[in-house]
Amino acid sequence: MTEVTPLVEFRGIARRYGEGDAEVRALDGVDLAIAAGEFVAVMGPSGSGKSTAMNIIGCLDTPTAGEYLFDGVSVSGLDRDARTILRRSFLGFVFQGFNLLPRTSAQENVELPLVYRGVGAAERTALAREALARVGLQGREHHVPSALSGGQQQRVAIARAIVTDPMLLLADEPTGNLDTRTSEEIMALLTELNTERGITVVMVTHEPDIAAFAHRTIRFKDGRVDSDTATARAA
Amino acid sequence: MLWETLLLAVRTIRRNTLRSFLTVLGIVIGVAAVIAMVTVGNGATAKITSELSSMGNNLLFARPGQMGPGAPSSSARSFTLADADAIRADVGGILAVAPVSQKSVAVVAGSESRTVGLVGTNADYLTTQAWSVSSGRNFTESEARAGRSVCLIGETVRQELFGTADPVGQTIRVKNIACPVVGLLVERGESTVGSDRDDTVIMPLRAFQRRIAGTTTVDTILISARDGVDTGKVQAAVEDLLRERRDILAGDDDDFSVRDMRQLVQTMTATTTILTGLLGAVAAVSLVVGGIGIMNIMLVSVTERTREIGIRLAIGALEHQVLTQFLVEAVVLSLFGGLIGILTGLSLAYGTARLLSVPFIVDPTIVALAFAFSALVGVAFGFFPARRAARLDPIEALRHE
C-alpha cells in the first residue's frame, strides 16, 4: 500500500465542552484517516461523538486538542472566516432536515453558495441549472421547497452541495426524513456522485441498510473510534 | 454582491409588508415632523422678511406707554397731532411722519355694508407704508389739514362694496358721514398675523377725530427716515423731543416707546428661527425613537431567522457578508421610512402653509439631511442586531427550530 496523503486526517483529536466536573469529552483522542474518493459511513449511538467529529471535519467546529489535516494541511488553528472560506471552497453539506431557504426557489437555493463566492449572475444560473439537472430536477428550477416532495428537497440540497464542485461531501443522516424508496434513490445519487465525479462522501447514519451503500463504516462509541471496517457493498 | 444584498433586503422586507410598514412608522413620523416644522418655519421667516422690505426699511413708530411685560399702556398719555408736527419740524433726516388712529367701523355703499378697520392719518401715511393708489389719488395735505372727509379704500373693501366697478368718485357712508372715495389702494394681501391689509379705509386724521372718534388723540406716530440716515440717531432724537414735550424729568422712565421696525422684524425672525429649531429638535427625538423600533424588529427578525442564518454561515457566508445583509436590510427599511416621511412632511407643510398663508419653501438641505439621517438611524440601530446575526454559531443556529 503506497502512502497517499489522506483527504481527512485526525491526529489525536479531542473536543471537550465545559470545565471541571461538568466537562464533557465529546471526542477523546481520535485518530482517523479518510482517503480521497472514499465513501464512508459514520455510525454510533447518540452521544458517541460522531456529530462532533462531523462538525470538525466540516470545519464548523474546532478541536480542543490534536491536529486536523485537510488534504495534508493543518486547519485546526484557522479562525472563523478562514474556515468558512475552506468550507465554501472544498466542502459540500447535506443535512437530515434539508435546510433549504424557505420561500426561495430551488434555483436560488442552489445558487446561494456561489453568491457568497462572488460568482457572477450568468455563470451562477448556468452552474445551478447544471447541478439541478445532475440530481434529476430539470424543469423544477422555480419551485419553492414547500412545493417539492421530501426526496426532491433533498435533491435540491445535494445540488446545492455539489454546485461548487467540492472535494468532500458531508451528509448528516441524508435519508433520516425520507421513506425507504426515496432513501434508496438518494443513496443511489450519492453513490453516483462518489463513483462518477470522484467526490469523497462522509455520511452519518443510523441505519445499517443505508450504511451498506458505503465502502467503509466507522463506528463511534464514547468519543472514540470503536470499529473501522470495510463494508460489503450492497447488491 | 451589494446589489444582490440590496435585492435580497427588498425582497425580505416585502415578504412582511405590514410589519415592515409598522416598523418604519416611527421614522416616517419623525422625518415628516422635522420636514413639516422646518418647511413651515422657513415659510414664516420668508414672509416676515418680505414684509420688512414692503414696509420700507427705515420705519420707526412711537406709541404711548412702554411696550413689554408688566408695563401699563392704557394709563399713559396719548399723543396728539401737535406731537407729530413737532417731530416733523424739529427732527432731522426724516422723510415722512404720519400720526395714526384706528377704529373698527361700518361702511356702507348703496345696499352693501362692511365693517372695516378705519385709519385716520395724513397724506404721508402711504409713504411710510411704501404704499400707493392704483387709481384716483391720495388725499392732499390741505384736505388733511382742513379735516375734509374724503377717503381711500382698500381692494377688499372695493370688492365688497362696489364689485368690479371703479369706486373713485363714488361716495361711501362711514358711520353716517358721507365720504367721497378719492383713491383705490394697491392690493397688498395678508399681513404676518393673517389679517387682510386690503380690508381698510383711510381718511384724514382730523376728520376721523372730529366726526368718527370724537377725540383729539393719536394712537401711533409713524416716522420714516430718509435713506442712508441712521435710524438709531433719528430714534434718539424723537425720544428726546417727546420726553421734552411730555415734561419727563431726567432719570424718570419714558411713558412712551419708539421702536425701529427693522429691529422688531429681526427679533421676530430670530424668534421664528429659534422656534423652528426647537420644534425640529423635538421632532428629531421621534426619529431616534423610530430607530429603536427598527432595532427591536431587526432583533426579532434575527431570532426568527436563526436557522436561515445558520444555513448561510454553513454553506459559505462570511461574517461580514451576514452583517452586511442585515445592515442593508435595516438601512433599506429606514430609508424607505425616510422617503415616505419626506413625502408626508412636504404634503403636511404644503397644507399648513396654505392654511396659514405663508409661502411654501422647500429647503433641499433639510430634505437631504432628513434622508441622510434616516440612513444613519438604520446603520446605528441596525448594527447591533446585524452583528448578533453575524456572530451566531452555525452549529447552534442549524439546530434552532
Find the CB nearest A81 among B308, B319, B394.
B319
Q: Which residues are CB-contacts of B225 (< 8 A; sequence separation ≥ 6)?
A: B58, B59, B60, B93, B94, B95, B231, B234
Q: Which three cell numbers stand for residue B229?
A: 440716515
Decide yes or no: CATH 3.30.428.10 for domain A37-60+79-230.
no
Per the DSSP assignment, residues forming a β-bridge with A92 are A169
Partner A contacted by B315 (CB < 8 A): yes
Closest CA relative to residue B205, chosen from B106, B91, B94, B83:
B83
Q: Which residues of A126-138 are buried (b: 16+ CB within 10 A; e: fewer)?
A: ebbbebbebbebe
Give me the percent of chain B exceeding a pLDDT of 70: 95
pLDDT confidence of residue A124? 94
Q: What is the DSSP string of A113-135?
A: HHHHHT--HHHHHHHHHHHHHHT
Q: What's the sign of the alpha-carbon dihedral B20, B23, B25, B31?
A: negative
Q: How far is A87 from chain B (nearest CA, A)?
A: 6
pLDDT confidence of residue B74? 54
Q: Is the pLDDT of residue A51 over 80?
A: yes
Q: How confident is the model at residue A88 (pLDDT cuts 50, 70, 90)?
A: very high
- pLDDT mean over B83-95: 89
- Distance separating alpha carbons of residues A55 and B284, to the nearest angstrom: 49
pLDDT confidence of residue A233? 55
pLDDT confidence of residue B194? 65
State the CB neighbour count (10 A cutoff) for residue B391.
Answer: 13
pLDDT confidence of residue A235? 41
Q: Chain A residues with CB inside 8 Å of B321's CB?
A: 116
pLDDT confidence of residue A160? 96
Residue of B nearest to A116 (CA): B317
DSSP conformation class of A147: G
- Going from the C-alpha of B313 to that of each of A121, B335, B396, the distances in angstroms are 20, 27, 11
Per-residue model confidence as pLDDT tens digits over B28-86: 998 998 899 889 888 888 887 777 666 666 888 888 887 655 544 556 788 988 999 99
Q: What's the sign of the alpha-carbon dihedral B295, B298, B304, B310?
A: negative
Find the CB nearest B319 among A80, A87, A164.
A80
Q: How confident is the model at residue A148 (pLDDT cuts 50, 70, 90)?
A: very high
Q: Which of A51, A84, A101 to mutate to test the interface with B (most CBs of B within 10 A)?
A: A84
Q: Which of A105-119, A130-144, B280-294 has the lowest mean pLDDT?
A: B280-294
Per-residue model confidence as pLDDT tens digits over B363-393: 898 899 889 988 999 999 999 999 999 999 9
Are A183 and A175 within 8 A, CB to CB?
Answer: yes
Give, for B305, the enclosing helix (H) or strand (E).
none
Residue of B nearest to A86 (CA): B316
B168: helix, strand or coil? coil
Find the CB nearest B315 among A61, A85, A160.
A160
Q: Which three cell numbers stand for residue B379?
A: 446603520
Give me the percent of chain A exceeding a pLDDT of 90: 86
Domain ranges of chain B: 2-51+266-399, 77-254
Residue of B nearest to A115 (CA): B1
- Distance separating alpha carbons of residues B66 and B43, to the nearest angstrom: 31
Q: Is the pLDDT of residue B137 over 50?
A: yes
Find the CB nearest A99 among B311, B320, B395.
B311
DSSP conformation class of B226: P
Q: Chain A residues with CB inside 8 Å of B323's CB?
A: none
- Distance separating alpha carbons of residues A94 and A187, to the nearest angstrom: 12
Q: Is the pLDDT of residue A1 over 60?
A: no
In the sheet with A200-204, reading across from the earlier edge strand, the strands are A91-94, A168-172, A200-204, A39-43, A216-221, A224-230
Closest CA relative to residue A187, chosen from A105, A112, A94:
A94
Domain ranges of chain A: 37-60+79-230
Q: Chain A residues with CB inside 8 Å of B313's CB?
A: 84
A85:B307 CB<8 A: no
Q: Which residues are CB-contacts of B355 (< 8 A; sequence separation ≥ 6)?
A: none
pLDDT confidence of residue A41? 96
- pLDDT mean over A45-55: 92
B78: helix, strand or coil? coil
Q: Which of A71-85, B209-223, B228-242, B249-263 has the lowest mean pLDDT?
A: B249-263
Q: How far is A182 from chain B (nearest CA, A)?
A: 24
- pLDDT mean over A4-28: 90
- pLDDT mean over A30-47: 94
Query: Which amino acid is located at B302 in the chain?
Result: V
DSSP conformation class of B250: T
Q: Which residues are CB-contacts of A49 (< 8 A; sequence separation ≥ 6)?
A: A15, A26, A27, A28, A30, A220, A222, A223, A224
Q: How confident is the model at residue A180 (pLDDT cuts 50, 70, 90)?
A: very high
Per-residue model confidence as pLDDT tens digits over B177-213: 899 999 999 988 776 666 788 899 999 999 999 988 8
